[in-house]
Structure 1
């Protein structure tokens, strides 16, 4: 192991790396033992040679089902997640923000990847407004009013949000405030802003692809993760063993489910064709069913929102469906279910308004919205 050197017969020098190395080996052994235990509890056996213990966020996205998750520290600030991957490997990833997986449970399908280092829309806007290295909020306000693209018409709040972003970057030494109405913006402003965010955000990015396990997705009436895989039939990332193999079997069973229920047809040559707009059809079907069930326990009737419709009312809560998480929006005489987005969580109990567009909602929340900052 290179942790001890014999200088003379019976005379040894121990490496200064001995203690941390042995401690790391002990921790690794504990991790492998816990991974075995979690897999066994789920009725699974995996070759330890396929175990991948990540020292930080994965360099490439890891997709699979959660077989274990537990607190990484005594303060409860971070989670460790064990993922049975579609790549045939079992991944151990520590340092996950609990808020990012609060809807996920054992069996849920997730994608864990590198930290999100995408450029903020606000930084692109600041760079575009800057003239001769100077950003002027007054100039920005004029242009925003001229273009008229600010949801809710809160132009002052829109510009103020960009100024708050510059305040944060000023403290990082990236932007400089000349006076109350002018900011000095460096030529490499955008790249430095991205680097600043990347340095602050060292946690892995997490997407919950399905709160349901594979077995429940096979017979579900909503739009599942399996359906999204079926309509984009690239299976090159599915390993022939482990969870990748189970995924292939589940896709076959889900395909048969659609054929049996008239949502797909099989030709004589064996090819399967799905109904047009399969995902939207399944989603709408589930929303109508769940809405009717909820109406039976409420004093309000349910009405399904249509694409292109403007919905408004009080945001009273959320409901988790197979097709995703939906917001409950109530009026005095009816309620509806619309796709949820994190941006409206702060509006719980308040009046909201948005436009339903292609399975999503463009919320018009004015100053509260944050406008992608």
Structure 2
């Protein structure tokens, strides 16, 4: 970079990062677009294309010495059987004409003879792959798919290497035949343990997860939105599936209220008050939610805002809104099942993922291999722990019976224990909430328990813990109101009527 500064005649503001996520370690350099005077940094295109590489080459040659003819030949020979796009392939494409490659005539010089031997050996490999055809002795035709096919194979090879590295880092061994590389959303849901989480691209817009699945496979899932997996770490147990298809209820309501392609919030408010079915009776907040949805769709270019009380909708409004959601959600639906690994769940106080499998789906989707085998063993140990704690009994015939409302009971114990621990470090007492109760206060923080993620809500007299939902994440530090219903909370947002003129 010092050499570049000399060539460009200005100091550069730059950072660099070493990358080892492919078969060829490399370095990325990011340069600020301003020079030392604050003006636009202008770099000649030819210098970007060739000058930087030449400078790097000069420095490497000074450090390591020039590449010998023997070493260069050895590197090219190693490329003959590689399942990726090589320098020999690039030379073949550059040499090929419309009628193909003509290698019938052997060059007179020894180097040309050696290069021809390399090309013929590589062409034999490409022919076996269906990417080249010898139409006559010494005359070859290259497939139009040669470069994209080899580049894709090279990428898959890099992916397989990264999967091996992730498994080795966790001390795991898996058969390569069990690897599953997904190009998009999986056709069937994947349940398993996260063993790696890394950037898929250099801009940081996508993540890749490597999942050790309960189906005995190791899955490579790219295209994950970083915003949706901030809480997911190595060892977390997740479920990955396709984004649910269909239309939002809010979109259906907006379309139903539209007259001649125009939606009016005031008319919708009148209907909502007349019907009287709005949760919590907050009619203004109910309509505001629909308007916020329209604002998001307006920014996406789907609807048009005429004025505050008139919105123009396209004829295919619902379909376009659903397509917008699918694109925004990257077609992936990732659900956190547990932040606790299997070992921590076996003797945990709360309602764990293992407990939900024991009383629910059981081992129906588990394969006795890889992570699936580990889960089966962990379920056996968790079952014995529940029997020791008196939460389950084993009959003489070997059948296991669990306590009535086991999950709810375990969760209550978990919340009570965590609440007591938090109360010791806070100035307010903890009070558990019951089903049907309304919770009101300031959303202070989230607390991760073996039973799941909970929101700490505090008022002037006490605090409580209630199941967390993504909808309240943006309300951190603000007043919230919700009703506890069946192990979840129905939150109420929007304007509230009060004193005023």
Distance 1:317 1:122, change over 3 A: same
Q: 2:194 aligned with 1:66, yes or no? A: yes
Q: Is the Cα contact below 8 Å between 2:443 and 2:455 reproduced in 1? A: yes
Q: Cα offset for 1:154?
A: 4.3
In structure 1, the gaps of 5 or more residues are: 369-373
Aligned length: 368
Match of 1:138 in 2: 266
The answer to which structure, 1 or 2, has the higher relative contact order (CA under 8 A, 6+ apart) is: 1
Q: Deviations over 1:197-244 (max 9, x none)?
A: 324433411001010111111111101111111111442211121111
Q: 2:336 aligned with 1:208, yes or no? A: yes
Distance 1:172 1:317, change over 3 A: closer
Match of 1:371 in 2: none
Distance 1:366 1:169, change over 3 A: closer
Match of 2:248 in 1: 120
Match of 1:295 in 2: 423
Q: 1:90 aligns with which of 191, 215, 218?
A: 218
Q: Cα offset for 1:2?
A: 1.8
Q: 1:344 aligns with which of 448, 451, 472?
A: 472
Q: 2:138 aligned with 1:15, yes or no? A: no
Match of 1:366 in 2: 494
Match of 1:78 in 2: 206
Instruction: Please tell me the root mean square deviation across aligned C-alpha atoms, in Å.
Output: 2.4
User: Whole-Å Cα distance in 1 between the matches of residues 171 and 277 of structure 2?
Assistant: 54
Match of 1:355 in 2: 483
Q: Is the Cα contact below 8 Å between 1:69 and 1:106 reproduced in 2? A: yes
User: Whole-Å Cα distance in 2 between the matches of residues 38 and 359 of structure 1?
Assistant: 37
Q: Deviations over 1:270-321 (max 9, x none)?
A: 1111111111111110111111111111122111111111111111111111
User: Whole-Å Cα distance in 2 between the matches of residues 272 and 242 of structure 1?
Assistant: 26
Distance 1:297 1:178, change over 3 A: closer
Q: 2:256 aligned with 1:256, yes or no? A: no
In structure 2, the gaps of 5 or more residues are: 1-128, 497-501
Q: Cα offset for 1:326?
A: 0.8
User: Whole-Å Cα distance in 2 between the matches of residues 47 and 85 of structure 1?
Assistant: 13
Match of 1:324 in 2: 452
Q: 2:437 aligned with 1:309, yes or no? A: yes
Q: Is the Cα contact below 8 Å between 1:96 and 1:203 reproduced in 2? A: no
| Secondary structure of the corresponding residue to residue 366 of structure 1 | coil
